[in-house]
Amino acid sequence: MKNLPQRLYELTQWLIHDHTLIDIGCDHGWLPIHSLRNGWVSAAIAVDRAIAPIQLAAKHGKDVVGLKVILSDGLDDVDVPMDSVISMAGMGG
């Protein structure tokens, strides 16, 4: 598995173990995947508005327990659990 880039690793310092990470603009899914694999969160939702990043996140996280991948423009189609931490840290186009 690819190492988590430093800019994304810095975000993990804000995560709460028993919470759900919602990563808006997930791109490849590395933040939610690493966060689950390392036990930094109990669940994670990878969200993107484009199909290609969603497919990548699903492919990279196919064996990761607790990962959901959702095609949505921001939080439009996401049921946000009360115990959520939301990341909107994409680099943008």
Tell me the pLDDT tens digit for each residue of 4-41: 888 888 989 889 889 999 999 998 899 999 999 999 99
> What number of residues does the chain have?
93
Structure tokens at 61: 């996280």
pLDDT band at 1 (very low <50, low <70, confident <90, very high): low
Say whether pTM exceeds 0.85. yes
3 pLDDT band, cuts 50/70/90, is: confident
* pLDDT given at position 92: 61
Give the helix ranges, DSSP H, for 49-92.
51-60
Q: With contact defined as beta carbons under 8 Å apart, do 21 and 44 qualify? A: yes
Contacts 24+ apart (CB under 8 A), 72-76: 72/47, 72/48, 73/49, 74/24, 74/47, 74/49, 75/22, 75/24, 75/47
37-56, pLDDT tens digit by residue? 999 999 999 999 999 999 99
pLDDT at 89 over 90: no
Going from the C-alpha of 23 to that of each of 27, 48, 49, the distances in angstroms are 9, 8, 12
CA distance 38 to 2: 14
pLDDT at 27 (0 to 100): 87
